[in-house]
Chains A and B, each alone.
Chain A
Amino acid sequence: MSKGKIAIIGIGEVPTRNMPERTHWDIIYDTCMEAVRDSGLHKNDIEGVISVTPQAQPKIAAELSFGKLPEELGLKGCKDAVSVNAGGASTSNAIRLAEEWVTTGVAKAVIVQHVTIHSTIPLMDQINFFAKAGIDLQWEYPFGPTYNIIMGLMANRYMHESGCKPEEMASVVTALRSWATKDPNSFFYGKDVPSVEKVLASDMLNTPLHKRESNVLGDGGCAMIIVSARDAKKMKRPAAYKLGDSVRYFSGTCVMRDFSKVEEGFRVTAKEALAQAGITKEDVSLWNCYLAYPLAHPLIAEWLEVAPPGQGGKYFLEGRMSFGGNIPWSTIGDAPGRGHTGSGVSSACYVETARQLMGKAGERQVKNCKYVYQNAGGGSGFNNIATIWGKEIK
């Protein structure tokens, strides 16, 4: 699997905003129709439909998993429809399933889509869902953790071991928001980029996490069209070819997650995916990292050997990963910049990877973008999936 067999040849996306007047189906129509048009295909060419399961939205999740989308959009050539759920790793698995369908002849063209509307979920339901999802109900939940606290536990140890300073951590927000302000699909499009001082002046939620280092929930959606690499070449359109895929499982329970195993997993998956693609890390034009929280970015920069050991935070503070810096990094600003759409953040990251390789990223376009590293992780971080995408295939 995953050695230049498929390509993304069409993308569609709506801005991430809190707009309760947009229904789930509003967004699905807009993203899927845009993606099909962008691919140059006809709607009836779509033979497979794969939905990334929306979290905490049981009604739309049930409609999608029970096969409503092809009927609603009139996809007359559709042979099968399914939903995939692995939390933040859902999109990676949806793309893998699309690859399976395309390479085994189940479907010639597959649409992968995601939609989330947080703004209409009752606050109590949101709290109940996010307080327990990915948190063990016997060995963790009774002590009162939150996702913010889980991230704080990892970040605090990292800062202790590496000497990373609070201002270096805060600069990650500045870097991610510097991309987001240039992204029309971001929650923070056109908004001021907060300075390090402003981030550090915001309330402390839990050590070392300040309010501006946490995420804002938003509504959003996107879609992509996947075909075989051979068909993509014949179509002579801008495309993003999947060249490598590697994964490691860590643990389902947060406290069981051995930090050294996670580090090793990030290192190994990057190396394996790069090797499959036949390139080295020096060839990577864009590190499109999906980590949900800013505090994890300096660690990952070190584990991917983009920054030297202990220098991840310093690199962000120096502006190297910011818009205009010399290391293009998370060009939609990851969840802190885009707005958090649950499992949809990784969908948006894959769409951005395709957009950059297709040369359609506008002001954020990375020059000579040939290869992109794109990762995703599921749940509260139970795994890491590393993928490599290229502008062309040999």
Chain B
Amino acid sequence: MEFEMTKPVPETQPWSERFWEGTKQGKLLIQVCKDCKSKIFYPRKFCPECWSGNLDWIEASGKATVLTFSTAYSMVEPKFMDELPYTIAYVDLEEGIRMMTRIVDCKPEDISFDMNVEVLFHERNGYFLPYFRPAGKK
């Protein structure tokens, strides 16, 4: 039996392409509504608060805290097996946005709740996924 081993890239929408273009330049962009001033994540075609189409982008600081995390040791898709163990987390950006991500550049046992992390970008087939690592770690 052969498994699909190609690692997935984001299935984008026309209105989210700017976000992924930003990651190629090392920028974490957040969509904003110019009418009601909402910060929007994930990017939408229209503002989910006021349905305005008057949308723009700001660059996030890339600083966040870990809300929660789970480290995988097995039972993931075959295409991700070679990366085990890895840690999936929800992080809260300074700008009030919550994202799913990976925590990297540290041992799983060194990850803690509410720890400060910062963004870095992991390349996969032309896309740059926003991962996070402990703040201040180069």
Chain A interface (Cβ < 8 Å from any Cβ of B): 123-124, 127-128, 131, 136-146, 148-149, 152-154, 156-157, 160, 203-209, 214, 253-256
Is A146 within 8 A of B75, CB to CB?
Answer: yes
User: For A160, what are the chain B residues with a Cβ–Cβ distance below 8 Å?
Assistant: 68, 113
Beta-carbon contact of A146 and B9 below 8 Å: no
A156 touching B76, Cβ below 8 Å: no
Q: Which residues of B contact A208 (CB under 8 A)?
A: 70
B100 and A145 contacting across the interface, CB-CB below 8 Å: yes
CA distance A225 to B77 in the complex (A): 40
Query: By the criterion of a CB under 8 Å from any partner CB, how many residues of chain B are at the interface?
Result: 41
Q: Judge whether B77 and A139 touch: CB under 8 Å.
A: no
A156's partner among B68, B74, B129 (CB-CB below 8 A) is B68
Q: Which of A123, A206, A214, A253 is in CB contact (< 8 Å) with B71?
A: A206
In-complex Cβ contact of A206 among B2, B72, B113 (8 A): B72
Taking CB as reference atom, which chain A residue is nearest B129?
A142
Which residues of chain B are within 8 angstroms of A137 by Cβ–Cβ distance? Answer: 8, 10-11
Asked whether, in the complex, the Cβ of B72 is within 8 Å of the Cβ of A255, the reply is no
Interchain CB contact under 8 A, A157 and B68: yes
Residues of A within 8 A of B101 (CB): 143
CB distance from A224 to the nearest CB of B (A): 34
- Closest beta carbon of chain A to B74's beta carbon, Å: 6
Q: How far is the CB of B72 from chain A (nearest CB, A)?
A: 4
| Complexed CA–CA distance, A256 and B67 (Å) | 13
Interface residues of B (CB under 8 A from A): 1-4, 7-13, 16, 42, 67-78, 80, 83, 86, 88-90, 98-102, 108, 113, 124, 127, 129
Nearest Cβ on chain A to B2's Cβ, whole angstroms: 8
User: Could you say which residues of chain A place their CB within 8 Å of the CB of B3?
Assistant: 124, 127
Cα(A207)–Cα(B107), bound, Å: 14
B100 touches A143 (CB 8 A): yes
Given contacts A123-B1, A128-B4, A144-B77, contact A156 B102 (CB under 8 A): no
B100 lies within 8 A of A206 (CB) = no
Name the 9 nearest CB pairs between A and B, nearest first. Answer: A152-B70, A157-B68, A206-B72, A137-B11, A255-B100, A144-B80, A138-B10, A205-B75, A153-B68
